[in-house]
Amino acid sequence: MDNNWKIGLKLAALVIVAVWLVKTFLVTSCFIPSSGMENTLYQGEGVLVNKWSYGLRMPFPSFLGYHRIGSCEVEKGDIVLFNDPGATQRNKRLEWRRVFISRCIGTPGDTLMLNREMIDSGDEVLSPDSKSLYVYPSSKEDLMRVILDAVGLKDNSLVGYTEDGSYIRSFSHYEFYLVSQKAGQRIDFVSLNSKLSREVHPYVVPRKGRPVKVYPWNVVLLCNTIVSHEGKQAGVRGDTLWVEGKPVSSFTFSKDYYWMASNDPVNLCDSRLFGFVPEDHIIGKAWRIWYASRKERFFQRIQ
């Protein structure tokens, strides 16, 4: 009996060590906490993340320093798991920070055209599941509900209201096609994204060793990045960036950075909330669904 107990303990210890080794050096997992990545990933689904997609980030970077084996860059369109780079997590060690999962739409050196809501207004579509916001008259809400039910989108909820009382919903390109075809001329849709496209400015995603020029529209974002991830004192006076007590017209970053976006612009858990994501915060690429919301999605490859 004693031998069986000892064998059981040894087996349990081996299993625990094996799981830790796999999660640390091969594959980790996470659950999708919100609807921000629909229709690619649904809330509550479990996702396997390949830790070698961009090279393995060695364990305990806060203690041992940041090192990556077989390092390679994230590609535009990839769905990426990364540690929260936000200022509220600054006092936590990197490996203990909460994690986010979003789609990369800006790689080091890219120039993004962002509007005043920090939404990319470029024409490139990285995923058919990326959603846009549409406005329609509140008087058409009853008809809208009938149409949503008819095309199988009855779970699509209102996301807000405009100042004049119109209703706002988010649809992917395909979802909007279904709804607009069914509605015909009965509902007058206006893309809210086009309304927000005023005051569009270019934002350069920092690349290691390359200077980024300071402009009035990017000065706060650059300042926050320098303070949070470059380890320097910085501040903004008027439209001028001050670094280590000196005014600068450009700044050369010591790391590569990325810009992450949710599929649904309603969800703010992306770079609009926390800014550029440094390379050392990247954990890996979303690989397969291991806990699915629907049977046909089990172990489906994530695109």
Domain ranges of the chain: 2-117+205-210+257-297, 131-195, 211-252
Average pLDDT, the chain: 90
Percent of the chain with pLDDT over 90: 65
d(CA 58, CA 53): 13
Residue 239: the pLDDT is 87
d(CA 103, CA 81): 9
Bigger pLDDT: 235 vs 14? 235
d(CA 159, CA 267): 10
Model confidence over 179-237: pLDDT tens digits?
999 999 999 999 886 655 567 889 999 999 999 999 999 999 999 999 999 999 999 99
The domain made up of 131-195 has a fold known as Alpha-Beta Plaits (3.30.70)
Using the predicted structure, report yes or no on whether residue 1 has a pLDDT greater than 90: no
Residue 105: the pLDDT is 95
pTM for this predicted structure? 0.84
Residue 214: the pLDDT is 94
Bigger pLDDT: 266 vs 286? 286
Residue 163: the pLDDT is 86
Using the predicted structure, report yes or no on whether residue 79 has a pLDDT greater than 70: yes
Residue 119: the pLDDT is 82
Using the predicted structure, report yes or no on whether residue 126 has a pLDDT greater than 80: no
Domains 2-117+205-210+257-297 and 131-195 share a fold: no
| pLDDT tier for residue 265 given thresholds of 50, 70 and 90 | confident
Count Cβ atoms below 10 Å from residue 9 Cβ, excluding itself: 10
The domain made up of 2-117+205-210+257-297 has a fold known as Umud Fragment, subunit A (2.10.109)
For residues 8-26, give the mean pLDDT.
83
Bigger pLDDT: 114 vs 285? 285
Look-up of token digits 């095309």: 151
For residues 74-87, give the mean pLDDT.
94
Residue 53: the pLDDT is 96
| pLDDT tier for residue 34 given thresholds of 50, 70 and 90 | confident
d(CA 174, CA 101): 23
For residues 289-299, give the mean pLDDT.
88
Residue 195: the pLDDT is 59
Using the predicted structure, report yes or no on whether residue 122 has a pLDDT greater than 90: no
Percent of the chain with pLDDT over 70: 96
d(CA 89, CA 164): 38
Residue 225: the pLDDT is 97
